[in-house]
Amino acid sequence: MDASRSDVLILGGGVIGLACAYFLLKSGATVRILEQGNPGCGSSHGNCGTITPSHAPPLAMPGTLGVALRSMLRADAPLYLNPRFDGPRFRWLLGFARHCNWRDFEHAAQARSAILQRSRHVLTELVRNERFDCEFGEEGELYVYRTDKAFHADQRHHADVLDRLGITVERWRGDEVATREPALKPGVAGGLFHPGDARLRPDRYAAELADRVQAMGGVIESGARIDVFGTHQDRIDHVRTTRGVFRGDRVVMALGAWSPLLAKQLGLRLPMQPGKGYSITYSRPALAPRHALVLREPAVCVTTWETGFRLGSTMEFSGYVEGLNRTRLDALRRGAAQGLHVSEGPAVQEEWWGWRPMSVDEVPIIGPSSRWSNLMLATAHGMLGVSMSAATGELVASMLRGGAPSLDPTPYAPARFGV
């Protein structure tokens, strides 16, 4: 047998590619992952590590585009649109604008809710059954509001939507929030608590997944940057990389924000853009929050683990611009300081940036390509890659191996974009 051939060749070794590999290996397939860096080194590494069915409502709704356009004047805005002209980004924004209506909002919320709720269940089983050491905790997530205006707006556009989707959300008065979360400064107007949310340390989750995949017989080719695809008729015949040429009977593209760049080589136009996020990780402070928090007005996420403390979030649309933006990091620090008694740990462990793979309709792209007969896509998870990882892996494995899918794959199908 050709040593470079596998039943399934997975492009990308982030949490999505690793989860696909895990469930495919469980189904009996042979699997090889091609990863340009090391497993989990992309947006799987430095995100906030929250598992959030509560994030089912998408960003796109009436009014969002106006907020984004106004943000061009403020480089520290939570949602920032770089004013530099960029053709692909401009086309993506036009498409995003078309989805800023209530009908598409409801459609996206339902699709996201289905995969988020399934993934929350499957991920919990995965972490427990495999005894993953990734600081998994189920304390829930608390949205914190310092103004009545923001609190009442989110009850209408967030909490009421979750009620309709069957996702539990509790409305807390300001004094209840203060009692239950002593890490917060006084002056809280109210809170929305999501008891079904969880958290983990994402770099540890990715590392544990990678170790388990290899223990099950999967092969991970680190440092394998994809150079070119070899095709024959309607199939991908081989993938040429910096580590050699590899073949798979089936190919899964799980390249996150790099997906549209590589898909272009295959004549596929994926309607995606990188949404740049930032985080700062500290050693754990003495007074750390009991829950994962979202400080809503400054849009800062706060996650506490046994081994550390992370401030994260922000959404920056600047195309494929690399590097840390000090203005964005300062905004995270400033926003946390407004809400927390102790907003930084004793020592900075890491300042990080990463590209989130944002689809134009904010629904992931999962399923068979309508152009290439042996290509499966598993990408465009936006800010929810960790949250959606387990259900995505399970769904891809069922579609490739012929099992009954655990959720309806229709809303995620690449065919909706003609790819």
| DSSP summary character for residue 28 | T
pLDDT of residue 1: 42
DSSP secondary-structure letter at 99?
Answer: T
**Tokens 């998994």, located at residue:** 136
pTM of the full structure = 0.96
Question: What are the helix and strand counts (H, E) for the chain?
Answer: 12, 19
- Here the tokens at position 311 are 């401030």
Task: Tell me the pLDDT tens digit for each residue of 43-85.
Answer: 888 899 999 999 999 988 888 877 777 776 677 777 787 877 7
Alpha-carbon gap, residue 144 to 178, rounded angstroms: 10
Q: Which CATH architecture has domain 5-417?
A: 3-Layer(bba) Sandwich (3.50)
| pLDDT tens track for 77-127 | 777 878 777 888 889 989 999 999 999 999 999 999 999 999 999 999 999
Q: How far apart are CA 166 and CA 168, in angstroms?
A: 6
Contact between 231 and 206 under an 8 Å Cβ cutoff? The reply is: no
Model pLDDT, residue 80: 81
Distance, CA of 294 to CA of 158 (rounded, Å) = 13
Q: Which DSSP string do the residues of 104-116 spell out, in sequence order?
A: HHHHHHHHHHHHH
* Stretches in the chain below the pLDDT threshold 70: 1-3, 72-73
- For 181, the enclosing helix (H) or strand (E) is none
Dist CA 184 CA 191 (whole Å): 12
**pLDDT of amino acid 74:** 75
Give the pLDDT confidence score for residue 17 in this predicted structure: 98
pLDDT of residue 249: 97
- Count of other CB atoms within 10 angstroms of residue 375: 24
